[in-house]
Amino acid sequence: MCQATPAVVAHRGASAQRAEHTLGAYELALEQGADALECDVRVSRDGHLVCVHDRRIDRTSNGRGVVSELTVPMMSGLDFSGWRNPSGERGVLTLEMLLELVAGTSVKLFVETKHPVRYAGLVEAKLVALLARHGLAAPRDAESSQVVMMSFSSNAVRRVRQTAPRLPTVLLFDRMPNGRRSGELPSWADCAGPDIRLLRQDPGYVARAAERGHPTYCWTVDEPADIELCRRAGVRYIATNRPGSTRSYLVDQR
């Protein structure tokens, strides 16, 4: 039986149409009706959380170098959008800027901390400190929290649970963890985060996780057949590079 309509999470913004992790990509996602935004964060040399997926900036900008060796001013003149669309947007996007974009709205922000990194647990410490400054580190409950922390690193998710116990967390995985096919998760993880390929093999996992109190965040879901699989399985959050078309499909199926 079909469950409630999944929430649409814009993966790195509307990244099928705009350069990922740019303000333009996130603004377009909001225009397209995304329920939530997703970003990856790393720590720059000068201690800022910047929205960059890769260890290096080479793929997504006209510059070169490792994120942890570059300061925000060093990246301020670089073009992070021209490789995908000629918007003229320059400078690296910081998490602070993204928080300002969703401030005062009901849009959730899913923040993935990347590992392994040079600074290890500093990225989670910086994240919790930044959220605390914005009054977002200690939500009333998981449902009302505007920010959700995610990582493939068990240690990273555990660190956030220890320092910000009320902040909801997602444990991401692209292989089924040993002994976890039952849908059970560690006490420090609230939500299961499987790759869509895992759900193609075992769509029943979503129901088993839900029976144990864990909603599912599935990534990265762009094709109609996969959207339908997630809808029928009862996935709570669909991370997609195409928030506009994904939302349209879900609306048509209501």
Answer yes or no: is pLDDT of 167 > 90.
Answer: yes
Residue 188 domain-assigned (yes or no): yes
Using CA atoms, how far residue 65 sits from 82, 114, 118, in Å, is 17, 17, 14
C-alpha–C-alpha distance, residues 34 and 10, integer Å: 6
- Domain contains 168: yes
In the chain, helix, strand, coil percent, each to 5?
Answer: 30, 20, 50
Q: How many domains would you assign to the chain?
A: 1
Mean pLDDT over the full length of the chain: 95
Token reading at 247: 């939302």
Q: Which residue, 193, 44, 38, is CA-closest to 122?
A: 44
Instruction: Determine the Cα–Cα distance for residues 233 and 138; give it in Å rounded to an integer.
Output: 31
Whether 226 is covered by a domain: the verdict is yes
Whole-angstrom distance, CA of residue 123 vs CA of residue 49: 7
CA distance 88 to 69: 24
215 assigned to some structural domain: yes
DSSP 156-186: HHHHHHHHSTTS-EEEEESSPPTT-TTS---
Q: Residue 2 above 70 pLDDT? A: no
pLDDT at 180: 86
Q: What percent of the chain has pLDDT over 70?
A: 98
The pLDDT of residue 119: 82
CB 237, CB 9: distance < 8 Å? yes
Q: Does the residue 153 lie in any domain?
A: yes
Which residues are part of the catalytic machinery? 11, 53
77 within domain boundaries: no
Name the pTM for this structure. Answer: 0.97
Q: What is the mean pLDDT of residues 2-6?
A: 77
Q: How far apart are CA 99 and CA 230, in angstroms?
A: 28
Mean pLDDT of 142-150: 96
User: Where residue 82 falls among pLDDT bands split at 50, 70, 90?
Assistant: confident
d(CA 239, CA 254): 19
Instruction: Write out the two tokens for 42.
Output: 């790393």
- State the helix-helix crossing angle for 122-133 and 95-102, rounded to 10 degrees: 30
- Cβ count near 139 (within 10 Å): 18
Q: Which of 67-71, 87-91, 219-223 has the lowest mean pLDDT?
A: 87-91
Res. 227 pLDDT band, cuts 50 70 90: very high
DSSP letter string, 92-109: PPBHHHHHHHHTTSS-EE
66-75, 124-133, 179-188, 208-217: which range is least confident on average? Answer: 179-188
Q: What SS3 state is found at 10?
A: strand
Q: For position 234, which CATH number holds?
A: 3.20.20.190
Query: What is the average pLDDT across 118-124?
Result: 91
- Give the pLDDT confidence score for residue 30 in this predicted structure: 98
Instruction: Assess if residue 231 is contained within a domain.
Output: yes
pLDDT-derived band at 215, boundaries 50, 70, 90: very high
Per-residue pLDDT for 83 more than 90?
A: no
pLDDT band at 3 (very low <50, low <70, confident <90, very high): low
Domain that holds residue 163: 7-18+30-43+96-253
pLDDT of 221: 98
- pLDDT: which is higher, 73 or 118: 73
Residue 13 one-letter amino acid: G
Residue 58 domain-assigned (yes or no): no
